[in-house]
Structure 1
Amino acid sequence: MTQTHSKARQQAEIAFGHTQSDFFARGHAVEELDSITQAREEKTLRLRHARLAKEAQDIATASAGLIAKRASKS
């Protein structure tokens, strides 16, 4: 059972469909950008922790070397 609608109603339905499609497309794009941003922030945090750990290790190694050098002079 097909219903026939006026031309104005058909155009309105088509326009509404396009509006809904645009709305959902924007939502999808925002979600995608959010996930990219979150991944970038997680990677930055992981790299920051790795850099700080390496710097701490380098400082500890340098300190140990200086301590050993002072101990050998005494």
Structure 2
Amino acid sequence: MTETHSKPRQQAEIAFGRTQSQFFARERALDELDAIVAARDEKTLRLREARLAKELQDSLLPPAKPSKRVKKS
């Protein structure tokens, strides 16, 4: 069953389709940005945890003895 619509109705349908396309494109772009932000936050957290673990490990080790340098005359 093929329905024929009036010309104004067809134009309205086309305009609505364009609006929907723009809306979905905007949503996809926002979803991509959210994914980028989440990945950055996860990486920052992972790096922070690694840095804190290294700082803790370094603080538990005895301090290194300063090396003696021989002065050249």
TM-score class, shorter: 0.7 to 0.9
Gaps of 5+ in 2: 66-73
TM-score by length of 2: 0.78
Unpaired segments of 5 or more residues in structure 1? 70-74
* Aligned: 1:53 with 2:19: no
Task: Give 3-state SS (helix, strand or coil) of 1:37's partner.
Answer: helix
TM-score between the two structures when normalised by the length of structure 1: 0.77
In structure 2, the residue matched to 1:30 is 30
Q: In the TM superposition, what is the alpha-carbon distance from 1:38 to its structure 2 partner?
A: 0.6
List, as ranges, runs of 4+ consecutive aligned residues in structure 1 with deviation greater than 2 Å.
none
The match for 1:10 is: 10
More helix as a share of residues: 1
Aligned residues, how many? 65
Percent same amino acid among aligned pairs?
Answer: 69
Aligned-residue Cα RMSD (Å) equals 1.6
